[in-house]
Amino acid sequence: MDIETFRDNLARHGAGPYAWPEPEREAGRALFGNSPEAREAAAEMEALSALFDEIKTAPPAPAPDALLARVMADAADVQAARDAPAAPPRAEPSRMGWLAFLRPLFIGAAPAALGLWLGYAVLGGDVAEAMGAAELAQNDGDIVVLDDTDQDELLAFAWPAAQEIWE
Amino acid sequence: MSFDGTGDESDEALLERFAAGDRLAARALTMRHTPRVLALATRMLRDGSEAEDVAQEAMMRLWRIAPDWRAGEAKLSTWLHRIAANLCIDRLRKRRDGGAKPEEAEAQADTSPTAAAMLIAGERAKAVSAAISALPERQRIAITLRHFEDYSNPDIAEALGLSVEAVESLLARARRTLASGFRDERRGAGS
């Protein structure tokens, strides 16, 4: 094994030969025993590992006050947002929102539809329904209802002839 | 011993108190963890301003996850440092995507070469920190994650999107460079 291969193994596997791959281990031991340069290289790698540990465990420099203040302000914001009462649920937007421009038309049409319905139901509708089952005949100016249903119900719809009214 | 009674309290207990609305717990966690997270980000990014942004963002994620933290599943400091390391790696990728070559980023950062070293007490450690800071970007990240953040080689490979063999190669090159610089320094001191 030459010194460069030895250094490469040191860098890959560390200074302890037990961590080296088996095929490299014996050759590495042999070079370590025979070469001051190899021993120096191993000592350097050991020292480097110790420095890594020193850096890792050294207390870090204090963080800038401005950064600490920002971090604590973030914490306060998160706490405040969490403590805030839940906002009332927002109404879901209508899926027919694109028809909003037709709303005035609907507003105008509603009374008209109501009027039509009333006209049909109160005046024309019930009369026609009541009379629909009947057969109307006119006899000397009287409207006579000819039906086999109850005559009391139908009496209201037996209108007098115009001549009787004037008399 | 701290006067707010939080000095000996575990991270998990403090986080639980923070989630319950205790602001002193937030202060204790900030003082305890922000400096180390900042040191990690500074070492990885070599840009003080960006490192502060990363430290703030990592701590913000801690505040947000507090109510859902599951004690015993992960060590808080490990979780926090992983978040910070990932944020740094994202920023380094964006630098590259933005057209900055790693060498250019390093040349800019070299205007303040002692930034990382200033974080560490001890002259030899300072010298090695400065040497780490001068490494090419990927070597620097690999060394930082392996030796200061306890990442395994496969973890580093996953974080950097490299093969494990590539990570081993990065680490070996970095260690050789550092060892060589250490040797030169000792010779210089001895002469």
Distance from B7 to chain A by nearest Cα, in Å?
16
Give the position of tokens 């207990």.
Answer: B13
Which range has the worst mean pLDDT, A6-10, A60-64, A85-89? Answer: A85-89
pLDDT tens per residue across span B137-148: 999 999 999 999
pLDDT tens per residue across span B46-70: 999 999 999 999 999 999 999 999 8
Token duo for residue A92: 């879901």
B19-25, long-range: CB < 8 A, 24+ apart: B19/B66, B19/B67, B19/B69, B21/A79, B21/A82, B21/A83, B23/A75, B23/A76, B23/A79
Can you give the pLDDT at residue A129?
52
Can you give the pLDDT at residue B174?
95
pTM of the model: 0.67
Rounded average pLDDT over B5-19? 86
Chain A residue nearest residue B35, CA to CA: A63
**Does A134 score more than 50 pLDDT?**
no
Pairwise CB contact (< 8 Å): B55 & A71? yes
User: Considering CB atoms only, which of B21, B38, B175 is closest to A45?
Assistant: B175
Please, which residues have CB within 8 angstroms of residue A149's CB and are 6 or more apart in sequence? A133, A134
Residue A69 CA to residue B84 CA, distance in Å, equals 19
pLDDT tens per residue across span B76-85: 999 999 999 9
Residue A149 CA to residue A128 CA, distance in Å, equals 15
**Does B9 score more than 70 pLDDT?**
yes
The interface predicted TM-score of the complex, written ipTM, equals 0.81
Top residue of B15, B63, B148 to mutate, by most chain A CBs within 10 Å, is: B63
Give the position of tokens 């409207």.
Answer: A143
Q: Which of B115, B105, B160 is nearest to B138 (CA)?
A: B160
**Does A121 score more than 90 pLDDT?**
no
- The mean of the pLDDT values for chain B is 84
- Mark which residues 56-75 of B lie under 8 Å from A by CB: 56, 59-60, 63-64, 66-67
CB pairs under 8 A between A and B: 111
- Measured CA to CA in angstroms, residue A30 lies from A2, A3, A39, A41, B91 at distances of 11, 11, 11, 14, 46
Can you give the pLDDT at residue A96?
57
Rounded average pLDDT over A35-42? 92
User: Considering CB atoms only, which of B63, B67, B175 is closest to A74?
Assistant: B63
Pairwise CB contact (< 8 Å): B122 & A7? no
Token duo for residue A133: 């089952």
